[in-house]
Structure 1
Amino acid sequence: MLPIQASRQPEMVADSQLLVAEDGLLTVTFIMLCHDSVERIVNRARLILDNDSTCRLIVHFDKKASLKVFQTICYQLDSHPRCHVMRNRVRCGWGQWGLVEAPLRALRYAFKNGFMSDYFYLISEYCYPTKPLVSLREYLTRNAGMEFIECKDKDWIKAGIREDRYLFVHLFDKRKHPRLHRWMYKCQKKVGLKKRTPRDLNVHFGSQWWCLTRFSSYNLLVDNEDLYFFKYSWIPDECAIQTRVAALVDQEKISKPLTHYEFDDSGRPIEFFDTDSLADGLTHFFVRKLI
C-alpha cells in the first residue's frame, strides 16, 4: 500500500469567535487557483481586492505552468498589501491531488500568517463575481456558521466511475496518459487490489468550489488522516474536502455552494461568456467558468 502522510499541524489555533469588520459584516479570505493567463489572473485579483476593501486574497499559481508567467504575476501583485502570491506551490494536474493540496497549502499559509477571517472562499481565475462582494458578506453574516459546500452521495457524479475513484490507486494523469491510467485501474480491479478504507468513512461528492468557516478550514489541516486517504484517488477535489467537512459538522450546517456552475452530460464544465443572465440568482455570488 502506498504511504499516506498527513500534513503537519499549523502553528496557530483557530477559535470560533466571529471577527467582524468595522462595518459589522463578516470577513472573507479568497483563495484563487490559477494556471493560465496573466491578464485574467491580475484583472480578477484586482477586481476582488477593489470590490472588497476588507478581504485578503491568496493566489496559488500552478507549479507546472510557465515560470515566466508566475514571475510576471508576482511582479504585478506583490505590491498589494492584501494580496499574497504563494511561493510554496504544487503541480495541479486535472483529476490529481494537487487540486486539493493547493488550497490546503493556502489555508496553512493563512493560519500561519494570522489571516483570521470568518470565511475562506475557494475560487479560480475563471470565477467571476455576479454581485457586489458586500452582498456576499451580508449573506454570510446572516448565515454565520453555515458551510457552503456540496456534500452529496455518489449519484452526484454524472459520468464515469464512482466508488472506484477512491477504492483503487490512481497515479497517472488520465489526460496525459489515458492508456496507463486505464491499464493500472483494470489491473487492480481484476485482482481485487483495493485500498484499505478508514473505518466509518462516509464518502461525499460535490463541486470543488466552497466557502467554509474558519472552524472547518482550520480542521482540514489537523487530524486529517481521512482526508489524505484520497491522495491517490481519481478526481479527489470532488470528494476529499467534501467528505471531511461532512464528518466535521452536522448536516443542517451544510448549505449549497455560493458559486454557480453547470456540467454538460459528459461531466465537463459549461463555459459562460457573460454574467447578465445569472446576476439575479438568489445565493450565487460567483459564476464559473467565465471565459
Structure 2
Amino acid sequence: MAGNSLVTITFIVLCHDSAERVIDLVRQLLTEDPECQVIIHLDKKSPKTIFQKLALALDGEPRCHLMRNRVRCGWGQWGLVEAPLRALRYALEQTDVSDYFYLISEYCRPVRPLSELREFLTAYQGTDFIECETSDWIKGGIREDRYLYRHYLDKRKYPKLHRWMYRAQKYLKLKRPMPKDFEVRFGSQWWCLSKDTVFKLFDDCKRERRYKRLRTAWVPDECYFQTIVYHEFSETVSDRSLTYVRFDREGRASNLNYQDFVPDGCFFARKYYLTPGGLRDTHKEMI
C-alpha cells in the first residue's frame, strides 16, 4: 500500500477506436493519480495504426502497460470478457500489485477528482463494487434466453444471421436447462474489484468449468463477472457501480456532457463529453 496509506488502483482501459482519445485519457489518469497503473487493451480487430500510435506515445511510460496479448472484441461476445481477464492475469504477474482494479473504456472520463476515488476505496477497502442484479436489470430484449441458448456471432456485424441462429435453436428445441448450482446475475460491464477477489478469481480451475456456459451467453460482459462475484464473494459485494451510464431505449449508452446530472457516488461517467471551461472535448463522434 502507498506510503500515505491510501489504496492503489490499476485502471484497465478497453479501447478500439481512437488512439488520441486513449492517450488523452491515460495521461489524465497518470497525472491525477501519481501512483496508479494503467493497462490498455486495444481490440485486436482495430487498425494497426492505432496500436502503433499508442505504442509510440505510451511505451515509455513506466506506469502504463500496452498489452501485446490481445483478443478480438465483438459486441456482445466473449472477447469483452476475455480482454479484462487477460489484463487481470497480466497485472497479477507484476511485482507491485494494486489494491483495486477498475475497468473502464476509452469513452469513460473522471467526473470527480481521482484523489477522492482513492479516499473512498480506502474507506471501504476490500469491498467489490459491481452490480449483481436479477434479470429485471435488463431493460429490453431477451433475458434468460441470453444464456439458455448459444450466441456465437456479433449481432451488429451479422444481425440477420445472429437472429436466424437464435430462432433455429428455439425451433429445434436446443434450449439448455437452467443452471442447477448458480443463478445468473446481471449488471454494468464497468466494475471495480479488490485485489483479494481478483486473486481468488484465478485460484480455482473448477470455478471456470462451473461457469463455462456463460462463454456463449449473449452479452457475457454483463453477466460473467457479475455471476461469479455474486456467488463466490457475496460477503464483499456492494451492489453498485462507480461508473455512471445512461442508457437509451435500445439499451445503448447515451452521450453525456457537463450539463447532465451525474449521481453522487459515481467517479466516472461513460461517453462523457469534456467541455469548455478548462476541459478538452475529445469526443467528436461516439459509437
Task: Calculate the TM-score normalised by the size of structure 2.
Answer: 0.90
1: CA distance, partners of 2:70 / 2:11: 16
Please name the residue that 1:188 is paired with.
Answer: 169
2: CA distance, partners of 1:277 / 1:241: 29
Please name the residue that 2:239 is paired with.
Answer: 255
Number of aligned positions between the proteins: 270
Q: Is the 8 A contact 2:128 2:236 kept in 1?
A: no
1: CA distance, partners of 2:178 / 2:213: 8
2: CA distance, partners of 1:236 / 1:254: 20
Tell me how far 1:268 sits from its aligned partner.
1.1
2: CA distance, partners of 1:65 / 1:216: 31
Tell whether 2:107 aligns with 1:98. no
Structure 2 matches for 1:218-237, cutoff 5 A?
218-223=199-204, 224-237=208-221
> Can you list the C-alpha shifts for 1:164-207, whole angstroms capped at 9, x where unaligned?
11111111111111111111111111122133655312110000
Q: Is the 8 A contact 2:229 2:237 kept in 1?
A: no
With over 3 angstroms needed to count, the CA separation of the structure-2 counterparts of 1:251 and 1:264, relative to structure 1, is farther
Q: Is the 8 A contact 2:130 2:237 kept in 1?
A: no
Q: Is the 8 A contact 2:26 2:38 kept in 1?
A: yes
Structure 1 residue runs of 5 or longer lacking an equivalent are 1-19
2: CA distance, partners of 1:126 / 1:88: 22
Tell whether 2:21 aligns with 1:37. no
RMSD of aligned residue pairs (Cα, Å) = 1.5
Aligned partner letter, 2:251 = G
Please name the residue that 2:132 is paired with.
Answer: 151
Tell whether 2:39 aligns with 1:58. yes
Task: Calculate the TM-score normalised by the size of structure 1.
Answer: 0.89
Structure 2 residue runs of 5 or longer lacking an equivalent are 273-282
Work out which of the residue numbers 11, 23, 41 in structure 1 matches 2:4: 23
Work out which of the residue numbers 177, 196, 199 in structure 2 matches 1:215: 196
Q: Is the 8 A contact 1:58 1:83 kept in 2?
A: yes
2: CA distance, partners of 1:200 / 1:218: 23
**Greater relative contact order structure (CA < 8 Å, 6+ sep):** 1
Moved over 4 A (4+): 276-279
Please name the residue that 1:9 is paired with.
Answer: none
With over 3 angstroms needed to count, the CA separation of the structure-2 counterparts of 1:115 and 1:196, relative to structure 1, is farther
With over 3 angstroms needed to count, the CA separation of the structure-2 counterparts of 1:268 and 1:277, relative to structure 1, is closer
SS at match of 1:128: strand
Tell me how far 1:127 sits from its aligned partner.
0.5
Q: Is the 8 A contact 1:227 1:241 kept in 2?
A: no
> Can you list the C-alpha shifts for 1:140-169, whole angstroms capped at 9, x where unaligned?
011111110100000100110001111111
Please name the residue that 1:239 is paired with.
Answer: 223
> Can you list the C-alpha shifts for 1:64-123, whole angstroms capped at 9, x where unaligned?
010111111011000000000000000111101000000000000001123411110000
Tell whether 2:150 aligns with 1:166. no
